[in-house]
Structure 1
């Protein structure tokens, strides 16, 4: 693609005003775009994106050495030296990256029905449910979530540790869907992804919210700012947008959640709400919550469906309603909705059972927020004849305010728990544990008797298993599907499910099947 074609896609400014400062040929061919200088190719374009620990501007010499024709970024931090290659300043480099990416890949979102899912908890489950319902109805789709990617039935794990990838990867994925003639794209849109412009240019047709609770205040600073970031998804829904494809713009809101009143003013498209406790267009009634399955009746605007699913817990009824409402909004019939929900076994790392012949239950779940931890415990408690035992932590360099809250929840809702590493990053791991423990101690629990602090997660899991007896439930929370644990700036291999099996085997339990 010629350079001027790419630069013309930059919406917020005119690049021609800066052409006099740096000499470059706007008709030259650009072979690639990269925001990591190590991925720059000859005749490529380098976008200097700032990160948490570094800044792309530091790598301009590396990009130049690798053959980049041009770099784009925000105002240079140093005026002392000229950059080592032509450089165009932009006011928002992340939005620029998204604009460049969608132009480079031929504006793929304009050729797809794009569905964005946001919320504090349940995004990955809801996204996968939507994908399954669409597949059941013969609607080929692609999926990008915290846990997995799917493209037209083929699935692979998300090992990046990013819930919403950078705009360059998103647009490249959408291009692959267009090329494969897959008409639907389902994209998990986190608050970071919305605030940082990663999903800019996705031109969403459908916006879905699960809930909005306490999370990511390290980044957003206030709950108001966090909610505002979520609202950006619904601002992106345009009732006048006509892609010339069979898509119906709609906002799918949770009538049971505070997010409904927060997000409603930002919706310019029709709203289809769902709920359990509150009257809604899509409502679950006659709930039967079992240990191995769930059933309920869904009342729709023009009919009803009877749902049988292996997903358990009231929160999964809400996730199911969000997916059902989305499918219904796009014209998927009741029979396909019923059939699709019945085929779903579970989502990787979400309420996943580990069975090695032990007389107590072991559950692995991604719950890492106060609200999600409470909901998972509330689901498991009625199924537990003995003690509720938790293993959990809180991520380093993330929301500090939730740490004592998590400790209090563990103190109030379990008989024994072990506080351990989640992803310490560059924080003092023992300090993180102490801040969680403060909440437990304030709730009246005593360390050494009611709970332990063991930073090493393997040892923590082993200790929890040693405390477990027949009829108990051990919940390993916070990691779920993740395949690494971040120590400092290094990602070390990790899998709660694998470690749990290894520790059960070491303690003499083996699956006899």
Structure 2
């Protein structure tokens, strides 16, 4: 399907949404639309100067945007751009706006014919568990509706209900987000399950979107850095935006700041359904690492569920998914039981047994809350053995995560092995030093920068009763180094190869 937007439509939309500062044509400045402007339509939206032509409306966005990017785009044929900055030397028609990210969202919605209005949308936020909950929700709705459910997650994207492709962000940029929604609608998809990160609200990727159901899983200190959130208050505030942009909320009642979330729901007049182990409209009782019961407090109805995924913390994720899915679609107990038991997530709580009897858990755990959850699961699996944790922290972001990881290792690991985890432009040794700085001197710590060597050390140290946790990378097959995605044998593949060697 071909989509299009005209110069006149761009002007009108920016004007209506109070985003237009001025329209500049041949160095003449306008606020109203000039009648002398020739008719022009665009059939592509882009912020990538390498993907542009004469039919492209170009967006100048990002802290690192440079004038030469626009120059490159105009060389390729671009005739109009949207920007917060006027580039006087450039001859293209300029729409100067107050907020480039809001403008991107507004124009993308119109360009793709408002696909969000033809989708029932479930959004998931939280410090941990977003991807797993998204997979549970997608599986539940697919069981009830068939191949009519799209998925936008940090791991995979599904636009036709069945075909999986790798994702690059938890929540795509606005231009990509609405393009994917439009493709889903073209594929006769009716429902969408998506992760919504704090950065999605911080950078207005979901500007103007209202979700039928929002899920708030948990909150902890994470993503605090100069390029993400300056403070925890800002991080939590951005997370809370989901409440103001949802028609109904599913909220974990046992978590910190629940009262604030409840007050926000009340003030915004958003209906709220709660769950938890200690409190909530629905109460969770764990039977084992794989099975739990869910009791509805109002009627005392009890349902039993079994998961393929390991870990009692996944009971929270499965419950949130079930309540959300049932809010938009009838799902009986038997269908729910089958769907939840069939759900698997690449790189999440993948369990392996070594030839000597030791257990290995591979997981994306990358902050205090997720390391705590995986470690507690490991202790329950092997209470008498040692817990060996291999981890690191990503370079250039979430700087507050590093001392938190050190604190988690101090509390939960018998042996810690610090290594690389997407160091990007930072030195692995510097990141390791920041993690180690909060750990006591008597803690057993190995510093091994090469991740495969670090994993080899951990597997070699493990005895029959021990558990090894490989945290942070999951199923990822690249390592971010100096701005490039370098091919990397995933932690899962490495462990499988180790098993085969015997």
Establish whether TM, by shorter chain, passes 0.5: yes
> 2:54: which partner in 1?
42
- The correspondence for 1:486, drawn from 480, 485, 492, is 480
Q: Please point out which of 141, 152, 164 is paired with 1:156.
A: 164
Aligned to 1:59: 69
Aligned to 1:432: 431
Structure 1 stretch displaced more, 393-402 or 496-505? 496-505
The answer as to whether partners of 1:40 and 1:68 remain within 8 angstroms in 2 is: yes
SS at match of 2:133: helix
1:188–1:252 distance in 2 versus 1, CA, 3 Å:
same
The 3-state SS of whatever aligns with 2:29 is coil
Q: CA deviation at 1:183?
A: 1.0
The reply on whether 1:222 has 2:231 as its aligned counterpart is: yes
State the SS of the aligned residue for 1:364. strand
Task: List structure 1 runs of 4+ shifted beyond 6 angstroms.
Answer: none
Distance 1:380 1:210 in 2: 22
How far is the alpha carbon of 1:300 from its aligned partner?
Answer: 5.9
Matched with 2:200 is 193
Shift of 1:342: 4.4
Change (3 A) 1:440 1:236: same
Whether 2:12 is the aligned partner of 1:5: answer no
Paired position in structure 1 for 2:94: 87
Q: Mean Cα displacement is larger for which, 399-408 or 218-227? A: 399-408
Hey, what's the Cα distance between the residues in 2 that align with 1:352 and 1:289? 17
User: 2-side partners of 1:15 and 1:402: how far apart?
Assistant: 39
1:341: how far off?
Answer: 4.2
Counterpart pick for 2:450 among 452, 456, 469? 456
Is residue 386–residue 473 contact of structure 1 (8 Å, CA) maintained in 2?
Answer: yes
Q: Which residue of 2 aligns with 1:299?
A: 296
Counterpart for residue 271 of structure 1? 272
Q: Contact conserved, 1:311 with 1:344, CA < 8 A, in 2?
A: no
Q: Which runs of 5+ in 2 are unaligned?
A: none
**Alpha-carbon contact 2:390-2:469 (below 8 Å) kept:** yes
Cα separation, partners in 2 of 1:30 and 1:336, compared to 1, 3 Å: farther
Number of the residue aligned with 1:417: 416
**1:83-482 mapped onto 2 (5 Å cutoff):** 83-138=90-145, 140-160=148-168, 162-218=169-225, 219-237=228-246, 249-267=247-265, 268-278=269-279, 280-285=280-285, 287-290=286-289, 293-299=290-296, 301-302=298-299, 303-336=301-334, 338-355=336-353, 357-384=355-382, 385-441=384-440, 444-445=442-443, 450-482=444-476
Per-residue CA shift, 1:224-259, capped at 9, x if unaligned?
A: 10000011111112xxxxxxxxxxx31111101124
Offset of residue 199 of structure 1: 1.4
Change over 3 Å in CA distance of 1:296–1:272 after alignment to 2: same
Gaps of 5+ in 1: 238-248
CA RMSD of aligned residues (A): 2.1
1:111-146 superposed Cα distances (whole Å, 9 cap, x missing partner): 111111111100000011111111112262100001
Aligned to 1:246: none
Matches of 2:416 and 2:201, distance apart in 1: 35
CA distance in 2, matches of 1:87, 1:504: 60
Q: More displaced, 211-220 or 322-331?
A: 322-331
Corresponding residue number in structure 1 for 2:39: 27
Q: Is the 8 A contact 2:153 2:194 kept in 1?
A: yes
Give 1:45 deviation, angstroms: 0.7
- How many angstroms does 1:262 deviate by? 2.8
Distance 1:376 1:119 in 2: 16
**Inter-partner Cα distance in structure 1 for 2:181 and 2:43:** 19
CA distance in 2, matches of 1:356, 1:25: 71
- Asked if the contact 2:477–2:487 (Cα under 8 Å) also holds between the matched residues in 1, the reply is yes
Q: How many residues align?
A: 481
- Superposition TM-score, scaled by structure 2 size: 0.90
CA contact (8 A) 2:123 2:213 kept: yes
Q: Deviations over 1:344-396 (max 9, x none)?
A: 24211110123564521111100001111011100111111421111000111
Q: 1:173 to 1:407 in 2, by over 3 A?
A: same
Instruction: Tell me how far apart the structure 1 counterparts of residues 374 and 66 of structure 2 sit (CA, whole Å).
Output: 40
